[in-house]
Structure 1
Amino acid sequence: MALHVEDEGQGEPVVLAHAGVTDRRVWDAAVPVLVAAGYRVIRYDQPGYGLSPRPTGPHSLVADALDVLAATGVESVHWVGLSQGGATGVDVALAQSGRIRSLALVAPGMSGYDWPALPGREGRMAAWERHDGAGLALEMLRLWGPLSFDEAGRLRADDPAAAVVLDQADWFLQDEQEVEEPAAEPRLGEIAVPTLIVLGDRDVEPITDIGRRYEKGIRDAGLVMLSGADHLLPLRVPDQLHPLLLDHLSRARTARN
């Protein structure tokens, strides 16, 4: 499957991987910052998202990621992933450790995590059952991007997250196509690359739990909690997130040299 890939800049390669409720555009603000800092920035739409075609059957997010590395001709990369994109970076590091130079896990997911029921499940299920893609996308935004709404529950005008999430409406109605990867937590001690974990204080509790598990399981991992941010940190607090990423990447580059 030919995924949509964007490749900009020169220097050490950095992959920006998006969340399962967004496409590559969640990283729009980060790309020019990283390119200006001297990095080659690669981002892509996962199958079914953004400009990538829908999968024709089950597929592995790890295999998709490795296909992107092959398509761009890079052997190893610094991996920056949001949510599901973070989980994929960890899974790649566990599957082929030499392919990952460092990890920046932003509000990360985790393969094999035992998820509890999340707030608003009834509304999401009702939208699914009536095949209401727009309604389901709105409920997904309420869960993962509560800062998109005012105190009365109305979508804020000119919200930066709205288009990125709501544009996935048709895809949210499709059945899951991703192959389940092996549970990551039992093997986190195998990861020996510089790792940064960034969380938002307005995110759902399981994401905070996952972040703490990564901090505990990965050697010398560092965790930062940012205020005023829900799950969509690249859109909410770019001015706080970008310096953290640049410092992390600089330290990782120095450690390699």
Structure 2
Amino acid sequence: MGTARTSSAAGALHHLRTGPRGGVPVVLLHPAGLDLGYWDRHIAALRPAYDVVALDLPGHGGSPGGPRDWPLERVTATVAAFLRGLGIPAAHVVGISVGGMIAQSLALAEPELVRSLVLIGTAASFSEEGRAAIRDRARQARTEGMEAMLPATFARWFTSQALTDRPELIDRATTTLLADDPQVHAAVWDMVAELDLAPRLGRIACPTLVLVGESDPSTPLAAARELTDGITGARLHTLPDASHLAPLERPELTIAHLLPFLAGQG
């Protein structure tokens, strides 16, 4: 049960792979601005039973990339090529926020690659008001830099209790965000502002679990219900005392739902 931390020739995506080779693959897609390291608790929980692959999306962590890598179709194709380059024929795909949007897109564009979906704190579409706010987020990153993004980002990501009681988490996320390329960050939000997968959700045929923090202001319960209403058979669970990035704030809750769901898929 080894661990590999390399750059893949397919898409040059930096990744960590651990767990039994030949086991069922689980692929982890992080949110905008962060990297694979934020899956640490989930990787530890999954690696005894699964072939776990966590990757850095283009322009994040150790992966090269720029703004041109961030149209949704392009980043989806990059992830698909990366998985094929690793010899993974199909995987359970778990995504947070933007990672969940890419997971949906992958299930639509390359359904044979996706055994199941776990969508955490994510959405398929946004209101016009929401799109305007996201475009403003992109503008701020592009013109003011990453430091200007921090207060509003943390207010969306975490509950007020976490902001007060978890300084180590906030310090870690601050360090990561300040190291990001603001032009890449802006391009990610440009993509999100145009996202509209809702009309195609009915084409997703794989088992799907949707998790949402009860205090999530970015992709609230209504967004989660749009996913479960659109994807046949999808299951929805609300996570108490959690905001947008529940896997960081309350990893024990997301793991408690993730493991039984994956075990039920065989």
| Same fold per superposition (TM over 0.5) | yes
Size of the aligned set, in residue pairs, is 246
The worse-fitting range, judged by mean Cα deviation, of 93-102 and 131-140 is 131-140
Contact 1:189 / 1:217 at 8 angstroms: preserved in 2? Answer: yes
Amino acid at match of 1:244: H
**Structure 2 Cα separation of the partners of residues 101 and 128 of structure 1:** 35
Contact 1:14 / 1:79 at 8 angstroms: preserved in 2? Answer: yes
Among 34, 45, 50, the alignment partner of 1:33 is: 45
Matching of residue 74 in structure 1 with residue 88 in structure 2: yes
Secondary structure class of the residue paired with 1:47: coil
Contact 1:201 / 1:230 at 8 angstroms: preserved in 2? Answer: yes
> 1:156-192 deviations in whole A, cap 9, x for unaligned?
5633244135412243621416767873111111111
The answer for the alignment partner of 2:204 in structure 1 is: 191
The answer for the alignment partner of 2:53 in structure 1 is: 42
Contact 2:156 / 2:243 at 8 angstroms: preserved in 1? Answer: no
Greater fraction helix? 2
In structure 2, stretches of 5+ residues that fail to align are 1-10
Structure 1 residues 228-239: aligned runs within 5 Å: 228-239=241-252
**Structure 1 Cα separation of the partners of residues 179 and 254 of structure 2:** 30
Over the matched positions of the two proteins, sequence identity in percent amounts to 28
1:125 Cα offset (Å)? 8.3
Secondary structure class of the residue paired with 1:75: coil
Secondary structure class of the residue paired with 1:228: coil
Amino acid at match of 1:139: A
The answer for the alignment partner of 2:24 in structure 1 is: 12
Secondary structure class of the residue paired with 2:265: helix
Matching of residue 250 in structure 1 with residue 263 in structure 2: yes
**Structure 2 Cα separation of the partners of residues 182 and 240 of structure 1:** 28
Query: Over aligned residues, Cα RMSD in angstroms?
Result: 2.9
In structure 1, stretches of 5+ residues that fail to align are 151-155
> 1:55-80 deviations in whole A, cap 9, x for unaligned?
26344220121122023110110011
1:129 Cα offset (Å)? 7.5
Instruction: Specify whether residues 92 and 238 from structure 1 end up closer, same or farther in structure 2 by C-alpha distance, changes over 3 A only.
Output: same
Contact 2:156 / 2:218 at 8 angstroms: preserved in 1? Answer: no
Contact 1:79 / 1:104 at 8 angstroms: preserved in 2? Answer: yes
Structure 1 residues 43-122: aligned runs within 5 Å: 43-55=54-66, 57-59=68-70, 60-110=74-124, 112-114=125-127, 116-117=129-130
